[in-house]
Structure 1
Amino acid sequence: MTASDIEQKILQTLDEMNIPYERFEHPPVATVKEAEQYSDLHPGAHCKNLFLRDKPGRLHYLVVMRVETEVNLTNLARHFKSGRLSFASNERLYRYLGVQPGAVSPFGLIFDTDHVVRVLLDASIFNEETAGFHPNVNTATLVVTVKDLLRFLDNTGNPYQILDFNQKDFS
């Protein structure tokens, strides 16, 4: 599948779920720092996404948070009693979310048909009406309402939790 095909599949899925979105095109960005150059392009929460796995590689987490939020992976692992957490390999990233590094987003969950990935949402996202995410390509951002993000997650069937990463337990 080409990057264009992957984005089209995500847009089609959002249309089928009756989830409206606004699409903002920008130059390719591989890091949060690069993406922030274009932060004035769209409203709402600007988010970053971390794809993590536990040490044995049995548990996978997609951590979704605002770009300014920091999370301590050791403390997060303690919270879930999952041993050490680390970034998943590029191969796992593609296998579970259909995405290459630099374009990770919750929209990739449509490729996780076995619902292996657990989603951890930072509560601060809910301080905004909308949030922006890549459509699995790093040349665009899709903005959806936070309410529709939850509806999207409900439709994918992946388990998710809302956590306050600003609490002492996670920082």
Structure 2
Amino acid sequence: MRGETGLLADLGVLGIPFAAHEHDAVFTVAESDAVHAAMPGVHTKNLFLKDKGGAFWLVTVPSDARVNLKALPAAIGCKHVSFGKAEDMERLLGIAPGSVTPLAAINAMPGSITVVLDAPLVAADMVNVHPLRNTATLGLSGAAILDLLRHWGHQPLVAQIPVQTA
């Protein structure tokens, strides 16, 4: 697993600009809201999921989105999803709950997980994600996240993620 050192090296090799922020550990969106208040850009949350067929998915959405889990499978092309287990996250992505990020795909074998980005994130100039640990945040463009995922051999899916209303 290449980890954060590999991530920072790839950012340099690809010439991807980013902003790095160190902070106290955050485990929930509510905790991260306070830490991220002074950071510009779109803040994110991530869902580590497993579908009925056994495939794993990592879905990244804006932090304030309330994902409609019943409608999600149709939007991303699978059947019924449930939350993945921590041990599967560790095995596939090399991270623990609380540190979930699309950048953890650096540790995943291509094809072992599908990374899904909510379409508005891809167009954003600044998207804030963890660099494989929950004590820091990296701000980089949505396009740069796609570039990194492809650089690591993944075929990310960009989708309109359904959200709950009211």
TM-score above 0.5: yes
Which letter maps to 2:25? P
- Secondary structure at the aligned position of 2:35 is classed as helix
The TM-score normalised by the length of structure 2 is 0.88
Farther-moved stretch of structure 1 (75-84 vs 59-68): 75-84
Query: Are 2:71 and 1:40 aligned?
Result: no
- Distance change in 2, residues 1:36/1:79 (3 Å): same
Answer whether contact 1:29 1:138 (CA < 8 A) is retained: yes
2:95 corresponds to which residue? 99
Larger helix percent: 1
Whole-angstrom CA distance in 2 between matches of 1:11 and 1:97: 17
The TM-score normalised by the length of structure 1 is 0.86
- Secondary structure at the aligned position of 2:91 is classed as helix
Identity of matched residues, %: 33
2:73 corresponds to which residue? 77
- Distance change in 2, residues 1:80/1:142 (3 Å): closer
1:59-104 per-residue CA deviation (whole Å, 9 max, x = no partner) reads 1111011011121112112445533211111111011111100010
Q: Unpaired segments of 5 or more residues in structure 2?
A: none
Aligned partner of 2:47 among 46, 50, 53: 50
* CA RMSD across the alignment: 2.0
- Secondary structure at the aligned position of 2:115 is classed as strand
Which letter maps to 2:78? S
Q: Unpaired segments of 5 or more residues in structure 1?
A: none
Q: How many residues are treated as equivalent by the alignment?
A: 164
